[in-house]
Structure 1
Amino acid sequence: MTAIKALDFYLPDELNASHPPEKRGLRRDHVRMMVLDRTTGEIKHDHFFHLADYLKPGDLVILNNSRTIPAVLQAKWLRNTVPIAPKVEIRLARRRGEDMWEALIVANPVKTGDILQFSPELSAMVIGEKENSPLKQIRFTKKGTDLYNIIYALGEPVRYEYIEQPWELDYYQTVFASHPGSVEMPSAGRAFSWELLFKLKRKGIQLEFIQLHTGLSYLLDDSLVQTPEDNDEEYQISERTMEKIIQTKASGKKVIAVGTTVVRALETAARNEVLSGITNLYINQHYPLKITDGIITGLHEPKASHLDMLSAFISERHLLKAYDEAIEAGYLWHEFGDMNLII
Structure 2
Amino acid sequence: MNALAMKFEIPEQLNAAKPPERRGIRRDFVRMMVLNKNNGEVDHSTFFNLDQYLKKGDVLVLNNSRTVPAILNAKQLRSNKMIDPKVEIRLAHRKSEDRWEALIVSENVVEGDRLNFSSKLSATIIINGTREPFYILEFSLSNAQLYNEIYNLGEPVRYEYIEGEWGLDYYQTVYASVPGSVEMPSAGRAFSWELLLKLQRKGVKVAFIQLHTGLSYLLDDKYHQAPSENTESYQIPTETVELIQKAKETGGRVVAVGTTVVRALETAVNKHGDLIEKSGWTNLYITKNYPLKVVDGLITGLHEPEASHLQLLSAFIDEENLMGAYHQAINESYLWHEFGDMNLIL
- Residues 206 and 124 of structure 1, relative CA distance in 2, 3 Å threshold: same
- Residues 4 and 137 of structure 1, relative CA distance in 2, 3 Å threshold: farther
Aligned to 1:38: 37
1:132 Cα shift? 5.0
Aligned equivalents of 2:2, 2:340: Cα separation in 1: 25
Q: Using the TM superposition, name which of 198-207 and 216-225 deviates more.
A: 216-225
Aligned to 2:323: 320
Aligned equivalents of 1:271, 1:138: Cα separation in 2: 34
Aligned to 2:343: 340
Aligned to 1:47: 46
Asked if the contact 1:130–1:137 (Cα under 8 Å) also holds between the matched residues in 2, the reply is: no
Asked if the contact 1:4–1:227 (Cα under 8 Å) also holds between the matched residues in 2, the reply is: no
Asked if the contact 2:4–2:323 (Cα under 8 Å) also holds between the matched residues in 1, the reply is: no
Matching of residues 5-44 of structure 1 within 5 Å: 7-8=5-6, 9-44=8-43
- Aligned-partner SS, 1:314: coil
Aligned equivalents of 2:179, 2:128: Cα separation in 1: 25
Asked if the contact 1:94–1:102 (Cα under 8 Å) also holds between the matched residues in 2, the reply is: yes
1:247 Cα shift? 1.1
Aligned to 2:196: 197
- Aligned-partner SS, 2:43: strand
Aligned equivalents of 1:5, 1:236: Cα separation in 2: 35
Matching of residues 1-343 of structure 1 within 5 Å: 7-8=5-6, 9-131=8-130, 133-271=132-270, 275-343=278-346
Instruction: Read off the aligned partner of 1:45 and give its amino acid letter.
Output: H
Instruction: Read off the aligned partner of 1:154 and give its amino acid letter.
Output: L
- Aligned-partner SS, 2:86: strand
After superposition, what is the alpha-carbon deviation per residue over 1:80-120, rounded to whole angstroms, capped at 9, x for unaligned? Answer: 11100100100000111101111000011311101111001
1:246 Cα shift? 1.1
Aligned equivalents of 2:198, 2:4: Cα separation in 1: 36
1:270 Cα shift? 1.3
Instruction: Read off the aligned partner of 1:102 and give its amino acid letter.
Output: E
- Aligned-partner SS, 2:117: strand
Aligned equivalents of 1:329, 1:264: Cα separation in 2: 30
1:251 Cα shift? 1.3
Q: Using the TM superposition, name which of 10-19 and 217-226 deviates more.
A: 217-226
TM-score, length-normalised on structure 1?
0.97
Aligned equivalents of 1:130, 1:23: Cα separation in 2: 43
Aligned equivalents of 1:97, 1:305: Cα separation in 2: 28
Asked if the contact 2:233–2:281 (Cα under 8 Å) also holds between the matched residues in 1, the reply is: yes
After superposition, what is the alpha-carbon deviation per residue over 1:162-203, rounded to whole angstroms, capped at 9, x for unaligned? Answer: 112210100000000100000000000000000000000010
- Aligned-partner SS, 2:62: strand
After superposition, what is the alpha-carbon deviation per residue over 1:48-105, rounded to whole angstroms, capped at 9, x for unaligned? Answer: 0000000110000000010000000000011111100100100000111101111000
Instruction: Read off the aligned partner of 1:194 and give its amino acid letter.
Output: W
- Residues 5 and 186 of structure 1, relative CA distance in 2, 3 Å threshold: farther
- Residues 112 and 274 of structure 1, relative CA distance in 2, 3 Å threshold: farther
Aligned equivalents of 2:216, 2:3: Cα separation in 1: 17
Aligned equivalents of 2:227, 2:173: Cα separation in 1: 23
- Aligned-partner SS, 1:292: coil
Aligned equivalents of 1:46, 1:146: Cα separation in 2: 44
Aligned equivalents of 1:274, 1:140: Cα separation in 2: 31
TM-score, length-normalised on structure 2?
0.96
Aligned equivalents of 1:164, 1:113: Cα separation in 2: 37
The gaps in structure 1 that reach 5 residues or longer are none
The gaps in structure 2 that reach 5 residues or longer are none
Aligned equivalents of 2:37, 2:228: Cα separation in 1: 26
1:130 Cα shift? 4.2
After superposition, what is the alpha-carbon deviation per residue over 1:258-300, rounded to whole angstroms, capped at 9, x for unaligned? Answer: 0000000000001575611111100000001000000000001
- Aligned-partner SS, 2:123: strand
**Pairwise CA RMSD of aligned residues?**
1.4
- Aligned-partner SS, 1:129: coil
